Structure 1
Amino acid sequence: MTEERCVRLFLASIKSDVTRKEYLKNLDRFRTFTKTNKYSELLKIKEKKL
Protein backbone atom coordinates (compact mmCIF):
# COMPACT_ATOMS: atom_id res chain seq x y z
CA MET A 1 0.00 0.00 0.00
CA THR A 2 3.02 2.29 0.09
CA GLU A 3 2.64 3.04 -3.63
CA GLU A 4 0.37 5.97 -2.81
CA ARG A 5 1.93 9.24 -3.88
CA CYS A 6 1.63 10.88 -0.46
CA VAL A 7 3.56 8.02 1.16
CA ARG A 8 6.22 7.94 -1.56
CA LEU A 9 6.83 11.67 -1.11
CA PHE A 10 6.92 11.34 2.68
CA LEU A 11 9.38 8.44 2.58
CA ALA A 12 11.56 10.15 -0.02
CA SER A 13 12.05 13.07 2.33
CA ILE A 14 13.56 10.85 5.05
CA LYS A 15 17.28 10.23 4.62
CA SER A 16 17.85 7.52 7.23
CA ASP A 17 16.71 3.98 6.40
CA VAL A 18 16.13 3.20 10.07
CA THR A 19 14.01 6.32 10.56
CA ARG A 20 12.07 5.60 7.36
CA LYS A 21 11.21 2.08 8.57
CA GLU A 22 10.15 3.32 12.01
CA TYR A 23 8.00 6.13 10.61
CA LEU A 24 6.31 3.77 8.15
CA LYS A 25 5.67 1.22 10.90
CA ASN A 26 4.10 3.86 13.14
CA LEU A 27 2.16 5.42 10.29
CA ASP A 28 0.73 1.99 9.51
CA ARG A 29 -0.20 1.48 13.17
CA PHE A 30 -1.95 4.86 13.18
CA ARG A 31 -3.79 4.00 9.95
CA THR A 32 -4.99 0.77 11.59
CA PHE A 33 -6.01 2.67 14.73
CA THR A 34 -8.09 5.12 12.68
CA LYS A 35 -9.60 2.25 10.66
CA THR A 36 -8.66 3.78 7.33
CA ASN A 37 -7.83 1.72 4.26
CA LYS A 38 -5.50 4.16 2.55
CA TYR A 39 -2.80 6.46 3.82
CA SER A 40 -4.30 9.31 1.82
CA GLU A 41 -7.47 9.01 3.92
CA LEU A 42 -5.41 10.09 6.94
CA LEU A 43 -5.00 13.49 5.33
CA LYS A 44 -8.79 13.95 5.27
CA ILE A 45 -9.45 13.28 8.96
CA LYS A 46 -10.78 16.32 10.77
CA GLU A 47 -8.60 17.58 13.60
CA LYS A 48 -11.34 17.17 16.20
CA LYS A 49 -11.74 13.49 15.30
CA LEU A 50 -8.07 12.86 16.06
Structure 2
Amino acid sequence: NGIETGQSTHTGVFSIVIVPPRTEEALRANPLGLYVHGLNWSKDHQ
Protein backbone atom coordinates (compact mmCIF):
# COMPACT_ATOMS: atom_id res chain seq x y z
CA ASN A 1 0.00 0.00 0.00
CA GLY A 2 2.72 2.44 -0.96
CA ILE A 3 5.12 1.50 1.84
CA GLU A 4 8.67 0.60 0.87
CA THR A 5 9.53 -2.86 2.15
CA GLY A 6 13.08 -3.10 0.84
CA GLN A 7 15.32 -2.63 -2.15
CA SER A 8 16.72 -5.05 -4.69
CA THR A 9 18.49 -4.85 -8.02
CA HIS A 10 17.17 -6.58 -11.12
CA THR A 11 18.43 -7.05 -14.67
CA GLY A 12 16.09 -7.24 -17.64
CA VAL A 13 16.39 -8.12 -21.30
CA PHE A 14 13.70 -7.02 -23.74
CA SER A 15 13.30 -8.30 -27.28
CA ILE A 16 11.63 -5.82 -29.58
CA VAL A 17 10.21 -5.88 -33.08
CA ILE A 18 9.49 -2.99 -35.37
CA VAL A 19 6.31 -3.24 -37.41
CA PRO A 20 5.67 -0.08 -39.41
CA PRO A 21 2.08 1.11 -38.97
CA ARG A 22 -0.10 0.40 -42.00
CA THR A 23 -3.27 2.21 -41.02
CA GLU A 24 -3.99 5.67 -39.70
CA GLU A 25 -5.34 4.14 -36.48
CA ALA A 26 -2.13 2.14 -35.96
CA LEU A 27 -0.09 5.27 -36.69
CA ARG A 28 -1.94 7.18 -33.97
CA ALA A 29 -1.65 4.32 -31.47
CA ASN A 30 2.04 3.52 -32.05
CA PRO A 31 3.74 5.86 -34.54
CA LEU A 32 7.13 4.15 -34.23
CA GLY A 33 5.71 0.65 -34.65
CA LEU A 34 7.87 -0.53 -31.75
CA TYR A 35 6.58 -3.58 -29.84
CA VAL A 36 7.99 -5.63 -26.97
CA HIS A 37 8.11 -9.18 -28.30
CA GLY A 38 9.54 -10.82 -25.19
CA LEU A 39 11.03 -9.98 -21.85
CA ASN A 40 13.03 -11.71 -19.18
CA TRP A 41 14.17 -10.32 -15.87
CA SER A 42 15.86 -11.70 -12.83
CA LYS A 43 16.96 -10.54 -9.42
CA ASP A 44 20.68 -9.82 -9.24
CA HIS A 45 22.67 -11.77 -6.66
CA GLN A 46 24.65 -9.54 -4.36
TM-score scaled by length of structure 2: 0.23
Higher strand share: 2
Higher relative contact order (Cα pairs below 8 Å, separated by 6+ residues):
2
TM-score scaled by length of structure 1: 0.22
The structure whose Rg is larger is 2
